[in-house]
Amino acid sequence: MKHAFYAEAIGNGKNYSLNYERRIYNSTQVYMFLRAGISPTKYKNVTNPYFAPKFPIELNIVMRSMYEHMIECGVGVTPYFNREKTLNTNGTSTAIGPKELNRYYVLRFGYRYQPSESGMVFRIAITPLLADEDDTYISNKILPLYGVSLGYSF
């Protein structure tokens, strides 16, 4: 199982993401995976909707505890594009200005089920997001989120 494709709810994409993962290190008890994905987010709750994709990138260390059951820890960054918003008098918001590249940082602590050969991958984890200081779009700089993933490894 050198490759995996999976979908993740919540997690690094904050809504959902589609991901590819590749094993880059392998020993008898420890694996290292590099992950890249996309979260195709469209902001509709503004008077002029716009597409603002997120791109989760993560490095995970996975420790095998028993057969297919593993403990997973990781760090990552999720770059994304966003626009400044202004609040209208009727309670809606309007996106103004050019798209800006922002990012938030992610930690991962969780459980992973993955067979030693190919097969289903299941992951569940705590994934706190740490917003960049320059990010004016996230008012709470630490978001205590979680992620649930389901996919296939080969």
Q: Domain ranges in the chain?
A: 3-153
**pLDDT tens string for the chain (154 positions)?**
799 999 999 999 988 999 999 999 999 899 999 999 999 987 776 666 778 899 999 999 999 888 899 999 999 999 988 776 666 777 666 666 667 888 999 999 999 999 988 999 999 999 999 987 665 556 678 889 999 999 999 9
Fold of 3-153: Porin (2.40.160)
DSSP, collapsed to helix, strand or coil, labels residue 61 as: strand
According to DSSP, residue 13 is labeled G
Residue 146 CA, chain-centre distance (Å), reads 10
Structural tokens at position 119:
């097969």
